[in-house]
């Protein structure tokens, strides 16, 4: 069986309960990144009134020893609310709350990369960096087999599936449409979706988002994806190469612009950005997946619309390059560029931080710069 038991529970019975009034009470689902740096966890609590801003949401805690996040015998971790979205599953006035994780000593948890991203975004905020990320993913049955693929063997070779239409071209469009609508309802800046090159692989795009917003919105969009898939009884994997062989992998192309690149003649700032990126390829590869480049080494082979992990390249309309300048941007002489290297399972906080460090803060070399405590104190704050 490829869909879960729970997805087959009687949904009419569920709906009867979901229609019960909830008075003035509000359900807030706190969401956080777990110790893998990829997985999401959530838990829900009752609030006595609707939170109007992030300050109205209490800090909370959880057992870090069950999420791969605790240190020694101090297993209590803090959840610090950072952004509120509407809950598309239990509807208004209920909320989804993206959180940062702090350790018992109130220092950031290992996989909490938002705090340093926020600091770097604050340092570069005059440049108004915008991002748009293209999240690719693959639907799997709960047996781990690509959803809708023949039980034994493979579908026909790639070609007809990208942006495909028809029951013999795409699998699981219900999920894609439900996710899109749920993101819109929640307040996520989702801007598009399409079927991908490998059957049962899809993409949605989020953006443009300024600064720290990129990570916040993409993480909630991922939460909504996993949650919608749960309802349908299948799994969305962000593995960058779910099927080996002649099948496309999954990336998270990251589109970037600044005040300068968006203005007339901005192409020269795009070219300058590419020059800086070309000198820091290893550093970027290291932060573009959660295992320091190991995951991406299965994907960035130089085949299947990817560049080689070993060398930096750039070009107009070149989908085999590390960085692509979209044709339209080349023609208009301003706009944005696309970094095609990030893996589907990247942490958008880490990716956008690295790009800003290199392109806007002019960092060079293999290690990120440590900014002074003073600069951090002035600019870093947990809340967006
Ligand atoms: P592709 O042709 O690479 O498949 P998509 O249409 O899938 O491109 O994605 C384009 C992405 O570019 C979207 O995420 C969108 O938000 C982003 N984008 C568009 N304009 C800008 C901009 N000025 N700055 C940054 N990102 C942008
Ligand atoms: Mn795309
Ligand atoms: Mn794509
Ligand atoms: Mn792209």
Q: What pLDDT is recorded for position 130? A: 98
H-state helical runs in the chain: 11-18, 114-123, 173-186, 213-232, 259-262, 267-278, 281-287, 294-299, 327-332, 348-359, 373-379
Take residue 333 and report the two structure tokens written for it.
């002489």
Tell how far the Cα of 101 is from the centroid of ligand 3, in angstroms. 31
Question: Which residue among 130, 132, 269 is best mutated to probe the pocket of ligand 1, counting the most ligand atoms within 8 A of its Cβ?
Answer: 132
Q: Quick count: other Cβ atoms within 10 Å of Cβ 273?
A: 24
**Cα(236)–Cα(217) distance, rounded to whole angstroms?**
18
Which residue's alpha carbon is at the smallest distance from atom 4 of ligand 1?
Answer: 134
Euclidean distance between the first and final Cα of the chain, in Å? 44
Q: Under a CB-based contact definition with an 8 Å cutoff, are residues 147 and 2 in contact?
A: yes
Task: Tell me the domains of the chain and their CATH numbers.
Answer: 6-111 (3.10.20.70), 120-379 (3.30.590.10)
Tell how far the Cα of 338 is from the centroid of ligand 3, in angstroms. 12
Beta bridge partners of 31: 42, 98
The set of protein residues with a Cβ atom below 6 angstroms from ligand 1 is: 130-134, 191-192, 205, 207-208, 253, 255-257, 262, 335-336, 338
Q: What pLDDT is recorded for position 336? A: 98
Q: What is the pTM of this model?
A: 0.96
Tell how far the Cα of 172 is from the centroid of ligand 1, in angstroms. 24
pLDDT tens series, the chain, 384 aa:
689 999 999 999 999 999 999 999 999 999 999 999 999 999 999 999 999 999 999 999 998 888 888 877 788 899 999 999 999 999 999 999 999 999 999 999 999 999 999 999 999 999 999 999 999 999 999 999 999 999 998 999 999 999 999 999 999 999 999 999 999 999 999 999 999 999 999 999 999 999 999 999 999 999 999 999 999 999 999 999 999 999 999 999 999 999 999 999 999 999 999 999 999 999 999 999 999 999 999 999 999 999 999 999 999 999 999 999 999 999 999 999 999 999 999 999 999 999 999 999 999 999 999 987 555 555 454 444
**Cα(199)–Cα(298) distance, rounded to whole angstroms?**
19
Query: CA 156, 227, 136: angle at the middle one, nearest 5?
Result: 40
Q: What pLDDT is recorded for position 383? A: 43
Q: What pLDDT is recorded for position 376? A: 55
Tell how far the Cα of 356 is from the centroid of ligand 2, in angstroms. 22
Share of the chain above pLDDT 90, in %: 91
Take residue 311 and report the two structure tokens written for it.
């060398």
Which residue's alpha carbon is at the smallest distance from atom 24 of ligand 1?
Answer: 257
**Which residues, 6+ apart, have CB-to-CB distance to 110 below 8 Å?**
35, 37, 69
């Amino acid at each position: 069986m490829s869909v879960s038991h729970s997805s087959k529970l009687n949904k009419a019975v569920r709906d009867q309960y979901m229609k019960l009034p909830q008075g003035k009470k509000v359900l807030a689902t706190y969401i956080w990144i777990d110790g893998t740096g990829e997985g999401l966890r959530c838990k829900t609590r009752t609030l006595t009134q609707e939170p109007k801003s992030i300050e109205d949401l209490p800090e909370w805690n959880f057992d870090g020893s069950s999420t791969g996040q605790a240190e020694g015998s101090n297993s209590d971790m803090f959840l610090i609310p950072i952004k509120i979205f509407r809950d598309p599953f239990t509807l208004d006035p209920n909320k989804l709350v993206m959180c940062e994780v702090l350790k018992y000593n109130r220092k950031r948890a290992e996989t909490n990369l938002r705090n340093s991203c926020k600091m770097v975004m604050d340092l570069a905020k005059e440049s108004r960096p915008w991002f748009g990320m293209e999240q690719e993913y693959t639907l799997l049955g709960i047996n781990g087999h690509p959803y809708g693929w023949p039980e034994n063997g493979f579908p026909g070779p790639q070609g007809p599936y990208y942006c495909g239409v028809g029951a013999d071209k795409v699998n699981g469009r219900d999920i894609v449409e439900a996710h899109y609508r749920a993101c819109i309802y929640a307040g996520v800046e989702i801007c598009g979706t399409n079927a991908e090159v490998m059957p049962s692989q899809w993409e949605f795009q989020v953006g443009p988002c300024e600064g720290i917003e990129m990570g916040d919105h993409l993480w909630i969009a991922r939460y909504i994806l996993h949650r919608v898939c749960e309802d349908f009884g299948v799994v969305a994997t962000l593995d960058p190469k779910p099927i080996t062989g002649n099948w496309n992998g999954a990336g998270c192309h990251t589109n970037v612009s600044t005040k300068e690149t968006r203005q007339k003649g901005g192409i020269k700032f795009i070219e300058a950005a590419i020059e800086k990126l070309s000198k820091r390829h290893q550093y970027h590869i290291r932060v573009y997946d959660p295992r320091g480049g190991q995951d991406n080494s299965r994907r960035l082979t130089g085949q299947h619309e990817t560049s080689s992990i070993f060398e930096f390249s750039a070009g107009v309309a070149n989908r085999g390059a590390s960085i692509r300048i979209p044709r339209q941007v080349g023609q208009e002489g301003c706009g944005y560029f696309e970094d095609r290297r990030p893996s589907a399972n990247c942490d958008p906080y880490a990716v956008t931080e690295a790009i800003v460090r290199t392109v806007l803060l002019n960092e060079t070399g293999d290690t990120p710069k440590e900014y002074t405590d003073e600069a951090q104190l002035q600019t870093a704050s947990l809340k967006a």
